[in-house]
Amino acid sequence: MKKLLLIISFMVISWQMPAVVHAEQESGIAVSLEQPTAQRDDAQEVSYADVMTKPGDRTTLTFDIANQATHDITVDVSAGTAGTSANGAVIYGTQNWPDSRFAGLPARMEQYLKPTEPKVTVPAGTIRKTTVTLVTPDNGISGVMAGGVTFTAEGQADVNSQNATMNFNTEVGYTVAVLNRTSSSILVPNLTIGKASARVIASEAAISMQLINNTQTFLNSLYMRVSIVGPRGTYLQREASNMQMAPNSQFNYKVWAGEQDLPAGNYTVTAVGYYVRENGLRYDASNGKRYAYRTFSKANLYISDKTAAKLHKQNAMLRKSLFWQPLFWMTIGVAVVLIVFFVWLLTRRRRVHYKFMLADGKIVARGHVHLRRKGHATIEIPSGYVLTVDTHEISSGQIVLKGTNLQNDFVVREG
């Protein structure tokens, strides 16, 4: 996937608005929304659609697609529903996500947003208009219906639906958020902490729990702190802040085991969530901030022998801890030993032997000196003798010995 440039626009917090993320591709397209006639009075200055409608209304949303490239671009236009990613962020362009990612969602925005042109070709250097029809459910909306319109250059992989069950979520293309209401009533968000379970996710062991936003409104400024105590001194902890959940959505909050083993037995999972930082701040959190709402949960989790064996076998982080780390230090140790050995070889003094003898093998003189490998020493030629072959460094009757030659034989004659 090409590198995405994230452009973040902050919404009006008094309405518990989301932070909208647009992802502009390197393909050269830019998208802007012409303000709808049904735009709420409190949302006149924002760049996304936030409309107040009546049941059964059909609202036209007009978008300008600018092609900043030097070639024609065909753009796919698709509608999505706001969901919550595995990292606690709102994704406005999700498509065909499973029901398990939502909680009592009355209707999906993707079913009520209808692009007039699913594909739009924009010539190089020009701007094309396209429209999307927003239909309001006949029975109205109790809170806010949230979703978005995504504009994707043809050929760019769309992972808004593919990553729905994976450990990460990425919004591809240029997504403009769309919010629809039929009432000015502000709903109170409600967080439920579901049951905990131990499992392997992307080759890593984790204890995860469901976080559920039961209300058709955004749950903002979520701060979670979870601690887990288990057998054999097992202790896990994770805290995360500034998370956000889409209306009637849920996601699994994970506490990674890392390089810890998770043995069989009983675990105590203590979780507390703080959320919303406007109006009536009543609860002090351990991160030093105050929040309007708080949800607490303390539950037991039992890991069977079979599950513990599976976690142990499939946890790649544990295998890394048990194998690669010792191997790394063993390699370092061997390298250090080899370096010390070679330094010792270079610096130790060795016995260098020499002898002077006549052509018939009779020894005139012999001896030895201690030299390092790169060292040298001078010895005297026996008095009254000269070398028969002058092959060594000689100065004033002296011969230079080198530490690289352990045995030195010199043939001399009287002279």
The DSSP code sequence of 3-41 is: --EEEEEE--GGGTPPEEEEEE-TT-EEEEEEPPTTB-G
Cα 93 from Cα 219, distance rounded (Å) = 18
Higher pLDDT, 82 or 332: 82
Q: What confidence score (pLDDT) does residue 21 get?
A: 42
pLDDT for residue 177 is more than 60: yes
Instruction: Pick the more confident residue, 11 or 241.
Output: 241
More confidently predicted of 256 and 20: 256
Q: Report pLDDT for 280.
A: 85
Segment 383-401 shows an average pLDDT of 75
Percentage of residues of the chain with pLDDT beyond 70: 85
> What are 99-130's pLDDT values in tens digits?
999 999 999 999 999 999 999 999 999 999 99
Looking at residue 402, its pLDDT comes to 87
* Least confidently predicted of 248-252, 266-270, 278-282: 278-282
Give Cα separations from 251 to 129, 206, 211, 248, 271 (angstroms): 36, 14, 6, 11, 15
**Strand residue runs (E) in 257-339:** 265-275, 283-284, 290-291, 293-303
At residue 94 the predicted structure's pLDDT band, cuts being 50, 70 and 90, is very high
pLDDT in tens, 319-330: 655 455 666 678
Contacts of 390 (CB under 8 A, 6+ apart): none
11-25, 287-301, 338-352: which is most confident? 287-301
Q: What is the pLDDT of residue 150?
A: 95
Q: Per-residue pLDDT for 25 more than 50? A: no
- Residue 392 pLDDT: 57
| Strand bridging mode 407-414 / 350-357 | parallel
Check residue 391 and give its pLDDT: 58
Contact of 4 with 25, CB cutoff 8 Å: yes
Count other C-beta atoms under 10 Å from residue 358's C-beta: 14
pLDDT of residue 412: 86
What are the two backbone dihedrals, phi and then psi, of residue 57, each rounded to the nearest 5 degrees?
Answer: -65, 150
Q: Whole-angstrom Cα distance, residue 109 to residue 51?
A: 13
Average pLDDT for 61-76:
95
Q: Which of 18, 8, 7, 9 is nearest to 276 (CA)?
A: 18
**Residue of 323 and 65 predicted with greater confidence:** 65
Q: What percent of the chain has pLDDT over 90?
A: 61
Residue 14, pLDDT > 50, answer: no
The predicted pLDDT at position 51 comes to 98
- Mean pLDDT, the chain, as a whole number? 86
Tokens at 218, concatenated: 């955004």
Mean pLDDT lowest among 6-15, 274-283, 385-394 = 6-15
Q: What is the pLDDT of residue 169?
A: 39
As a whole number, mean pLDDT of residues 356-371 equals 88
Long-range contacts of 304-313 (CB under 8 A, 24+ apart): 304/264, 305/264, 307/198, 307/264, 308/262, 308/263, 308/264, 310/200, 311/198, 311/199, 311/200, 311/205, 311/257, 311/261, 311/262, 312/261, 312/262
**Other C-beta atoms within 10 Å of 270: how many?**
14
Q: Is the pTM of this model over 0.85?
A: no
Q: What is the pLDDT of residue 157?
A: 54
